Amino acid sequence: MEGGLRVRAGAFMREIVFGLEDSLVSTLGAVTGIAVGTGNRYVVILSGLVLIAVEALSMSAGSYLSSKSAREVFDRRLKQDQSRLLQERVDDDTTFANVLKKAKLSAKDQSKVLSALGKERKLWMKEVQRCEHRFAPAVSSSPVTSGIVMGLFYLLGGGIPLIAYLVLPVEDAMIPSIVITGIVLFAVGVLKARYVQGHWLKSGMEMMLVSLTAALLGFLIGNLAAGFLGVSI
Tens of pLDDT along the chain (233 residues)? 444 445 455 567 778 888 888 888 888 888 888 888 888 899 999 999 999 999 999 888 888 887 777 767 666 766 666 555 555 554 455 565 565 566 666 666 666 666 666 665 555 555 555 555 554 544 555 788 888 999 999 999 999 999 999 999 998 999 999 899 989 989 888 887 877 677 888 888 888 887 788 778 877 887 787 667 655 54
What is residue 11's predicted lDDT score, i.e. its pLDDT? 61
In a domain, 173, yes or no: yes
CB atoms within 10 A of CB 171: 12
Does 233 map to a domain?
no
59 lies in some domain: yes
Residue 176: give the domain boundaries: 2-228
Q: What is the pLDDT of residue 95?
A: 61
Residue 209 within a domain: yes
- pLDDT for 26 equals 86
223 class by beta-carbon count within 10 Å (0-12 exposed, 13-18 middle, 19+ buried): middle
> Which pLDDT value is given to residue 154?
92
pLDDT of the residue at 125: 59
Q: How many domains does the chain have?
A: 1
pLDDT at residue 3, rounded to an integer: 46
Instruction: Give residue 206's pLDDT.
Output: 85
Q: Can you say how many angstroms the Cα of residue 44 is from the centroid of all Cα atoms in its chain? A: 29
